[in-house]
Copies of this chain bind each other. A is one copy, B any other.
């Protein structure tokens, strides 16, 4: 099934205990689409500035990712600067320059409106809703959000979530959104507010998938070294939605496997800066780690 992702394509300046990288390829739609491209056809809706390096677009095209929906706008590309401490669970935002992303108002080209799977990355919930209204009944609607929208646009977000099949957010956001410190209570409270299901991402502590009927918990794939956690959440989402797309059907068993594939993809992306590690792996590497994860968790 074809996948459409609406989000950011950006240039990140990242500092971790392992080094500093300037203006490397980033953005939610970038991480998502590369992860999903291992499984299925993906198209991106995003906006970049005139300064966006052509080589990055070429890189996406080479992976058969549809870039026709990436509008090149007058001005500069969205830039994010962040720093991670030794405990990489916490990112410090040093600077956010929205630039052309400030006026991002996604228009979905006619032929992409029939995409069967839709992922709305972390953007204004009103924009997420406006995208959905342009679509022709996708079979699966998944979305992300963040602390900023939970604080400033909670009503819009809650209204929109009634239309969503899978709402992805991290543990801190889940607590913020639900007002519950306990994540099981948080998951239950979130699903009671509208979305068919929620996936709470706990970083190195794994993931909770929660719907009214089904609950799934998985540890993270254990790693000895994490170099840069940027994009892990969107890469995870790309793995989940990509796997669902590849499998061709949407049911509990497929979603569970998708969550594990998402975790596997995320475990790769954090092993290098930007999307470098994703570019260096093959489906064989992914399946090897998937089998290893099965061995690690079976009892």
Give the B-binding residues of A (Cβ under 8 A): 86, 181-185, 202, 205-206, 208, 215-219, 222-225, 253, 256-257, 259-260, 296-299
- Contacts of A183 on B, CB cut-off 8 Å? 222
- Contacts of A299 on B, CB cut-off 8 Å? 216, 218, 253, 256-257, 259-260
Contact at B297–A182, with CB atoms within 8 Å?
A: no
The answer to whether residues A222 and B208 also contact, given A256-B298, A297-B217, A299-B256 and a CB cut-off of 8 A, is: yes
* 11 cross-chain CB contacts under 8 A: A184-B223, A184-B224, A205-B206, A206-B219, A208-B222, A215-B222, A215-B296, A217-B296, A218-B219, A219-B219, A297-B297
The answer to whether residues A205 and B208 also contact, given A256-B299, A296-B216, A298-B256 and a CB cut-off of 8 A, is: no
Q: Which residue of B lies closest to A226 (CB)?
A: B182
> Within the complex, what minimum Cβ distance (angstroms) separates A236 from chain B?
15
The answer to whether residues A224 and B297 also contact, given A206-B219, A218-B219 and a CB cut-off of 8 A, is: no
- Contacts of A184 on B, CB cut-off 8 Å? 222-224
Q: How far is the CA of A298 from the CA of B297 in the complex (A)?
A: 9
Contact at A222–B217, with CB atoms within 8 Å?
A: yes
> Within the complex, what minimum Cβ distance (angstroms) separates A49 from chain B?
38
- Contacts of A215 on B, CB cut-off 8 Å? 222, 296
